[in-house]
Amino acid sequence: MHDVIILGAGPAGISAALWCDELGLDTLLLEEREEIGGQLHSIHGPIRNYPGLEAANGGEFLERFSERVSDADFDVWTSVEIEKVNVKSKQVFLRSGETIQSIFLVIATGVRRRSLGIPGEDEFKGRGIIESPTRDRELFAGKDVCIVGGGDAAAENALLLTEVCPTVTLVHRNKKLKARREFVEQLQTQHCITVFPESAVTRIIGKDQVEAVEILRKDAIKPFQMAVGGVAIRIGVEPNTGLVRDQLKLDERGYLLVNSDLETSVDNVFAIGDVSSRLSPTISTASGNGATVAKVIASRVAP
């Protein structure tokens, strides 16, 4: 029996674990991936908006953000496969057959990329679907590519790919890009980037590898095909609530609902970071939520 089990080791989970440890709570941090850090692994540009800590990319930020994790007293289990969670009894059932339990449960499972649900999207995973513009840079060098989406992630991916790809086509549904101004300004200076607003990619085509995309522009009757060697789908995110969504109250977009103590609809079950912060999905919020939840929990166990 632990005082606190935290599900997810992104910035929110790491911050909560460090704070719980500092406040003397017996804490276990569970992460399904091989490494802690969550979305920080997907940030390839500089981070300049976290007070007091700047970094060239998410990896560098993670190193400094989690410096204290190895000296701290809490346990971190990575590559953990959680089968199910019972929020009322605070039990976590692992695929390995083990069951663990705590007095308080903190859900910090963040968000994942949304998918388009179009033909070719699953079929070409690993065969032309771009997972990471940095990691896959050499794979797509010299190829024309298409990015689907108009937010920060789409813009950042497009900018990174211009360094190695002859042309980059950005296809998005809205009239204007939603990406932050800094990215939009940079996109406008890149001559190899073409933007198709009010458009949708409706199919990814190829034999062994991606060879083309089908694009449908607003007001057009038929889609047209454009030859590309790679496609990145960056159309936003959805919260990782699969383990608890039938047991806790969600908002209309599926994010976990919390009160000012960050407590969900079940007593002593909390949600922190992106999984419950639709309007402020940032490292600062995730980290602040981690501190808040630890303080709230500590106040409930205090004699």
Ligand X SMILES: Cc1cc2nc3c(=O)[nH]c(=O)nc-3n(C[C@H](O)[C@H](O)[C@H](O)COP(=O)(O)OP(=O)(O)OC[C@H]3O[C@@H](n4cnc5c(N)ncnc54)[C@H](O)[C@@H]3O)c2cc1C
Which residues of the chain form contacts with ligand X (CB under 6 A)? 7-13, 30-33, 38-40, 42-43, 47, 49-50, 82, 108-111, 152-153, 156, 240, 243, 273-274, 281-284, 286
Residue 143 CB, shortest distance to ligand X, in Å, is 21
Q: Which is closer to ligand X, CB of 214 or CB of 274?
A: 274
Q: Which is closer to ligand X, CB of 205 or CB of 237?
A: 237
Burial category of 191 from C-beta neighbours within 10 Å (exposed 0-12, middle 13-18, buried 19 and up): exposed
Residue 236 near residue 135, CB atoms below 8 Å:
no
Residue 44 near residue 31, CB atoms below 8 Å:
no
3-state helix, strand, coil in the chain (%, to 5): 25, 25, 50
User: How far apart are alpha carbons 141 and 138 in whole angstroms?
Assistant: 5
Q: Which is closer to ligand X, CB of 82 or CB of 301?
A: 82
Tokens of 279: 């309007």
Residue 165 near residue 190, CB atoms below 8 Å:
no
Q: Which is closer to ligand X, CB of 34 or CB of 208?
A: 34
Residue 18 CB, shortest distance to ligand X, in Å, is 13
Residue 3 CB, shortest distance to ligand X, in Å, is 19
Residue 292 CB, shortest distance to ligand X, in Å, is 13
Residue 10 CB, shortest distance to ligand X, in Å, is 2
Q: Which is closer to ligand X, CB of 105 or CB of 215?
A: 105
User: How far apart are alpha carbons 302 and 126 in whole angstroms?
Assistant: 51
Residue 287 CB, shortest distance to ligand X, in Å, is 8
Task: Please state, in angstroms and as integers, the Cα–Cα distance from residue 246 to each residue in 6, 86, 271, following that order.
Answer: 19, 10, 15
Q: Which is closer to ligand X, CB of 31 or CB of 214?
A: 31
In sequence order, what are the residues at sequence separation of 6 or more whose Cβ sits closer than 8 angstroms to the Cβ of residue 278? 239, 251, 253, 255
Q: Which is closer to ligand X, CB of 38 or CB of 230?
A: 38
Q: CA angle, 89 as apex, 87 and 95 as ends, to 5°? A: 70
Residue 33 CB, shortest distance to ligand X, in Å, is 4
Helix (H) and strand (E) counts in the chain: 6, 16
